[in-house]
Amino acid sequence: MQQGSLWQKWIHDDRLRMIIIFVPPAILVFTVFVMLPMIQAGFFSPWKWSGYGPAPWAFNEATDATFGRWVGERNFDRMFGHSAFQQAVWNSILVIVVSLLIQLPLALMLALMIYRTSRANTIFRLVFFMPYILAEVATGLIFAFALDGNYGLSAWFSQMLGLEEAWFPLAEKPWAFYAILAALVWKYFGFHMMIYIAGLQSISSELLESAEIDGATTWQKAIYIKIPLIWPAITVSIFYSVLGALQVFDLVMPMTAGGPSNSSHTLVSYLYNFGFIRLDVGFGSAVGVFLFVTGVVFALVYRNTVQKGQ
Amino acid sequence: MKQGLIAAGLAAAMAATPVIAETEITVLSINRDSTPWKGLYDDVVADFNANNPGVTVTVEYMEDESFKQKLPTLLQSASAPDMFFSWSGGVFYEQAEQGFLQALPDDVVAAWQQDLSPGGMAALSHNGKFYGAPEASQNVAIWYNKDLAAQLGVDPTTIATWDDLLAMVKVAKDGGVTPFVVGGQDKWPLHFFYSFLAMRIMGQDGMTASAAGENGGFNNADWVRAGEEYVRFIEMEPFQNGFMGVKYDGATGLWGDGESLFHLMGDWDLGASRGAASNGGLTNDQMGVIPFPMVEGGKGAVTDTLGGASGFVLTAKAEPEAIDFLKVFMGVEAQKRAASEGVYIPTVPSAGGLVEDTILKQFAAIGGASTYHQLFLDQFFGSSLGGAINDVSAQMATGDITPEAAAELLEETREFQ
């Protein structure tokens, strides 16, 4: 009887049924493709290892030694002391700053202008959202062509301005990364704009009408009603843009490949370049551990402060 | 009754398939886009397959960079090829040391050393064991554009010293001609300058000492001087505008379009520049080749060469038939054809004389007269230290590191290897 009622409960409790059906596959995929590689990276990080062999500590019969060499914290020492790494950290911070100060305000402004449903607004939304649909590598290549001083838009502009020498932003030091930042803003503002539009459309029209009756201006409505009401959407978009900033990679590779002179690396392109291309998997793992810890610390702090109670 | 039918069907099916067990040999090569080279491979493979029933050879191609990155995983997987392309050098030593390659039997080595290039075979050997067969001989030298030289009234063949070259760079600059084109974004085209200067300044003994960590390793007066000479050159702004944003392909296209007086590059550039140029590139008559000049007071020789020593090596799992194929694949006949058709400069001595292309002939002469052949430094020192050499070559070109700091950084990287 007892068993029967439990069974009955299982069959009829939708929530429980959903958990049983949907959670195990998700946990499995998450464990295999996220947790295990992360744990593995942690174990690899104190080794000097080229990636040959199953693991750095595995014994290689051909050499009578392990595949890797234990170096302890030296991978981390080298990483923190490497000027290209410091530049990559700074660049990643720059991406966050530009996202928060330029990209998100721009997205919010546009969202406020075009969130109402009308035919013209739909077209604008589509146009602004278009860059987000484009593959990142394709975006990078388009920008690389446009900014090429030999045959791109940059050549055309230089000629129009009557410059004696064409401008090659991707070949010059501070400009190369600014160009990447511009491409990032261009590509992602539409995504954040859509988040805000979804939030704005859910604001009840009665609220806005009553504000209008009370004589509120457009500016006052935005500041005192709309933005506070879509604050949860804004915090979500900040969360995405900061974590996204830590992951920028696909745009960097086709545009500058981290150059000139390793000045435009982000953390991930740095990891890829110095970990994978240089066959230094232990070092790459150390960078990965740093990236992971940074991401987790940010997520925990953010969730427990800004997003607390949401 | 039904069972009987099935049995009969099975028997018929078995009779229809050949009894000889098929041996599959897979070869992994870097991209050979240009028709003559890939065509040569296709023909050699087709011949071998036709003459060796029971053996099927297939060649797979992969773009250089993805090839380098996939190889470590590929070699330890079940789908490892039987043989693959190798640039030799540090990465190859690592593969050999870790037991992923198969050493050739002694009798095979002895036989191959008779026909193939002993020097090339030595490049594909490590700790006394031989792992493969050499292919093309590659050398780097300075190309010059004869039309632009005539226009400027200079004769690059008179260049004997580094200072002579710098003087001609100045003439070109003053005459409004770009002295050199370079694909700075790839970094390795820049490292040729630094490498050559280092070789001319310290010579073979110095380079060997650096590799072994003697005399300060990389952190010594010779490396600093190589950097200083390089920076002296950089300060003349010898490259095309925006050179740090251009890859090798783009730069060699500019060279093919006649955009610069000089171009420091290997013999493979002949086909590459014509492929990348907008109008088919320069003709052989429009180009000349000179060796990298001597640096005053240097311990090296102008006949010391920098280049590749590549070929194909066998993986640990390779079938015995793979050895037979490798001998044909990189063999005398194939190399003779490569020479006469201008595909590449062969390493096989008996094929060397068959090179007809006037430009390749000059490179073959430079290679033939070599007093010491240095493998590309970024290959020779392995991916980590080699990559660091490329890094500092680019950083010095953008003024981000001093020659002293570059030498220190290289030594620090070497120590950590």
Could you tell me the domains of chain B? 2-135+308-367 (3.40.190.10), 139-306+374-415 (3.40.190.10)
Q: Is the pLDDT of residue B243 over 50?
A: yes
**pLDDT grade, residue A3 (50/70/90)?**
low
Taking CA–CA distances from A67, the nearest residue in chain B reads: B98
Query: Which two tokens mark A150?
Result: 């030999």
The per-residue pLDDT for A190 is 95
- pLDDT of A62: 75
In angstroms, what separates the C-alpha of B87 from chain A's closest C-alpha? 15
pLDDT of residue B4 exceeding 80, the answer is no
DSSP character at residue B103? P
Mean pLDDT of B36-47: 90
Place B176 in a pLDDT band, splitting at 50, 70 and 90.
Answer: very high
Residues 6 or more apart from A206 whose CB is under 8 A from it?
Answer: none
Q: Cβ A149–B187 below 8 Å, yes or no?
A: no
pLDDT score recorded for residue A53: 81
Show the tokens assigned to A239.
Answer: 């969360």
Joined together, the tokens standing for residue A65 give 């030694």
pLDDT of B417 > 80? The answer is no
Which residue in chain A has the smallest CA separation from B384? Answer: A278
pLDDT of residue A4: 59
Band the pLDDT of B21: cuts 50, 70, 90: low
- Inter-chain contact A279–B394, Cβ cutoff 8 Å? no
Report the residue of A69, A82, A87, A150 to disrupt the B interface, i.e. the one with the largest count of B CBs within 10 Å: A150
Is there a contact between A150 and B72 if contact means CB atoms under 8 Å apart? no
Q: Which residues of A touch B73 (CB under 8 A)?
A: 51
Lowest mean pLDDT among A2-6, A271-275, B115-119, B249-253: A2-6
* B331 DSSP assignment: S
Three-class secondary structure of residue B409 per DSSP: helix
Instruction: Answer whether residue B15 shows pLDDT above 80.
Output: no
Tell me the per-residue pLDDT of B83-110, one tens digit each, with 9 for 90 and over. 999 999 888 988 898 888 999 999 999 9
**What are the angstrom distances between the C-alpha of B238 and each of B165, B176, B193, B201, B233?**
11, 11, 12, 21, 7
Place of tokens 């401008």: A167
User: Residue A5: pLDDT above 80?
Assistant: no
Rounded mean pLDDT of chain A?
A: 90
Of A149, A166, A259, the CB nearest to B394: A259
The pLDDT-based confidence of B34 (bands split at 50, 70, 90) is: low
Burial A157-175 (b: 16+ CB within 10 A, else e): ebeeeeeeebbbbbbbbeb
How close does chain B come to A85, measured CA to CA in Å? 13
Residue numbers in A near B65 (CB within 8 A):
277
Show the CA angle centred on residue A248, arms to residues A123 and A97, nearest 5°: 80
Q: Which of A85-94, A256-265, B18-27, B364-373 has the highest mean pLDDT?
A: A85-94
Q: Is A60 on the interface with B (CB under 8 A)?
A: yes
Q: Which residues in chain B are contacts of A170 at CB distance < 8 A? A: 242, 245
- The answer, yes or no, to whether ipTM is higher than 0.85 is no
Would strands B83-86 and B23-30 be described as parallel, antiparallel, or unpaired?
parallel
Give the minimum alpha-carbon distance from A91 to chain B in angstroms, rounded to a whole number. Answer: 17
Per-residue pLDDT at A2: 53
Ordered structural domains, chain A, with CATH: 1-31 (no CATH), 82-304 (1.10.3720.10)
The pLDDT assigned to B82 comes to 95
Say if the Cβ atoms of A277 and B68 lie within 8 Å: yes
pLDDT at A51: 83
Residue A113: what pLDDT?
Answer: 93
**Which residue in A has a C-alpha nearest to residue B381's C-alpha?**
A278
How does residue B70 score in pLDDT terms, banded at 50, 70 and 90? confident
Is residue A109's pLDDT more than 90?
Answer: yes
More confident site: B349 or B261:
B261
Q: Is B181 on the interface with A (CB under 8 A)?
A: no
Task: State which amino acid sits at residue A310.
Answer: Q
The pLDDT of residue A44 is above 90 = yes
Nearest CA-CA partner of B361 in B342, B335, B338: B342
Residue B1 has pLDDT above 50, yes or no: no
pTM: 0.82
Please state, in angstroms and rounded to a whole number, the distance separating the CA atoms of residues B81 and B75.
7
Least confident of A157-161, A209-213, A219-223, B298-302: A157-161
Q: Looking at residues B248-268, what average pLDDT do you find?
A: 94
